[in-house]
Amino acid sequence: MAKTDLEVHDDKPLTIAEFEAIAKTKLKQQVWDYYVSGAEDQISIQRNREAFTRLIIRPRVFRDVTKIDTAATLFGKEYAFPVGISPSAYQKLVGGDGELDVARAATGRKTLMILSTNATCSCEDVIDAAGGPDAHFWFQLYVSQNREKSARLIRRVEAAGYKALAVTVDTPVLGNRINERKTQLILPAPLSLPNMEDTDPDRSKKPSLNRELLQATNRQEADRVQEAARERGLLNDPSLTWNETIPWIRKQTSTMKVVVKGVMTAEDALLAVEGGADAIVVSNHGGRQLDGVSSTVEALVEVVDAVKGRVPVLVDGGITRGSDVFKCLALGADFCLVGRPALWGLAYDGRRGVEMVLDILERELSRTMALSGARNLQEIQRGMLGVERRDGFGIAKL
């Protein structure tokens, strides 16, 4: 007997957690482990999520919330709501057409996508799938030891139409990802990394050199990998500094904004502003780099207070509910990014699955705003949040 429309609708996942549970059944174990795991004891990946539960919403009532406006603007581009898609590698491993499906979904829902350097689709094809440069997509950049190689990539993504470079600053080396050390992820044929340059014809059959360095068990092994990789420039550059790197990047592009991704302290936020960054992304790399750091929503507070509105502040990490987005905005974020939730949608049903994930977050945010008395993003204020009092019963307003 055929199912009714209502029964079919009821089978659809209604939360990000439900998408995650389905993705776990669809993905190969090695791929699932790669995306879901963090570094070492995975303390920070857990803290990213758990920190949101400590923030308590203080709703305002008797406000006219007939119309809720979730529109947000970055660099002059208006997006339908303040949730974009973080860069994540190897998306064709997850499902559908990989980055192409994610790009189509982001465009269909009028929001931002940041394409990973380690994408399995070319930067040109992703922009084409999004409908062209009007998509206002950004490109995530790892600066390699071979600066000319990085310069060529910057010029290439600028020519393709990307509007900003999200320069990852928290990865001079890979974090100690235990699951990746036990079972190294190698792209199966015919997948490749079309945005990367590598003269080794067999590189696609091997772990990346960054991962070979991660596997080193002593100083001698590490030195050997680093020496072998130096001339070819296939390792992330560990010599990046505030004084040198942003000015160098600016010399390579005449149109793209420079966004610093991976800031977790007020001190570095100030250096980013003083160094000329156009925006900051508060991120701990999804808990995949240095284990034991704070959650991103905890770090967000000091970064926002240090920046004082001089540049936009974005945040990612642990966001799985529209109410999480609301809390980030209340703490002063201008925009939020999600990584794993988009992958769970991609695993579920390609472009359609990613669109469903974005729709869930948009509806949950809109509903949270209405129930909290905020008609637009500007009305979401820090005073709408509190935490449990330490010196007695009740809620302390932030």
On whether 34 is known to bind a ligand per the annotation, the reply is: yes
What confidence tens digit (pLDDT) does each residue in 227-258 have?
776 666 667 889 999 999 999 999 999 999 99
Numbers of helices and strands, H then E, in the chain: 15, 13
What confidence tens digit (pLDDT) does each residue in 315-372 have?
999 999 999 999 999 999 999 999 999 999 999 999 999 999 999 999 999 999 999 9
Percent of the chain with pLDDT over 90: 79
Distance CA 380, CA 300 (A): 16
Q: What b/e string do you get for 279-292 counting C-beta neighbours within 10 Å, with b at 16 or more?
A: bbbbbbbbbbbbbe
Contacts of 174 (CB under 8 A, 6+ apart): 180, 210, 211, 213, 214, 289
pLDDT band at 213; cut points 50, 70, 90: confident
The pLDDT of 88-113, averaged and rounded, is 97
Lowest mean pLDDT among 46-55, 148-157, 196-205, 386-395: 196-205
The pLDDT of 275-283, averaged and rounded, is 97
Find, among 7, 14, 3, 26, the residue nearest to 356 by Cα: 14
The whole-model pTM stands at 0.93
3-state secondary structure of 337: strand
CATH superfamily of 11-53+80-317+327-360: Aldolase class I (3.20.20.70)
Q: In the block, which residue shows the tokens 């929503």?
A: 297
Note the pLDDT of residue 7. 47
Distance CA 151, CA 156 (A): 9
Distance CA 368, CA 393 (A): 25
Q: Are the beta carbons of 323 and 369 closer than 8 angstroms?
A: no
On whether 177 is known to bind a ligand per the annotation, the reply is: yes
**Position 302, amino acid:** E
pLDDT band at 1; cut points 50, 70, 90: very low
What confidence tens digit (pLDDT) does each residue in 112-158 have?
999 999 999 999 999 999 999 888 999 999 999 889 999 999 999 99
On whether 87 is known to bind a ligand per the annotation, the reply is: yes
Find, among 118, 132, 113, 128, the residue nearest to 90 by Cα: 118
The pLDDT of 251-276, averaged and rounded, is 97
The pLDDT of 191-216, averaged and rounded, is 72
pLDDT band at 226; cut points 50, 70, 90: confident
More confident residue, 130 or 8: 130
Q: Is the peptide bond before 190 cis (omega within 30 degrees of 0)?
A: yes
How is 16-37 classified by DSSP, letter by letter?
HHHHHHHHHHHS-HHHHHHHH-
Residue 6 has pLDDT above 80, yes or no: no
Find, among 26, 61, 28, 100, the residue nearest to 347 by Cα: 26
Note the pLDDT of residue 75. 96
Q: Are the beta carbons of 377 and 329 closer than 8 angstroms?
A: yes
Distance CA 227, CA 235 (A): 10
Spans of all domains in the chain: 11-53+80-317+327-360
The pLDDT of 158-163, averaged and rounded, is 97
Distance CA 124, CA 160 (A): 5
Q: Are strands 77-79 and 114-115 parallel, antiparallel or unpaired?
A: unpaired
Q: Is 285 a catalytic site residue?
A: yes
On whether 322 is known to bind a ligand per the annotation, the reply is: no
What confidence tens digit (pLDDT) does each residue in 55-70 have?
999 999 999 999 999 9
- Of 92, 285, 321, 327, the catalytic one is 285
On whether 239 is known to bind a ligand per the annotation, the reply is: no
Note the pLDDT of residue 8. 45
**Average model confidence (pLDDT) for the chain?**
92
Residue 205 has pLDDT above 90, yes or no: no
Find, among 61, 23, 10, 79, the residue nearest to 336 by Cα: 79
Q: Give the containing element (helix H, strand E) for 313.
A: strand 313-316
The pLDDT of 376-382, averaged and rounded, is 98
| Token representation of residue 301 | 């507070």
Note the pLDDT of residue 189. 87
Distance CA 26, CA 336 (A): 27
Please work out, in degrees rounded to the nearest 5, the angle formed at the alpha carbon of residue 117 by the alpha carbons of 170 and 333: 50
Burial grade of 5 (CB within 10 A; 0-12, 13-18, 19 or more): exposed
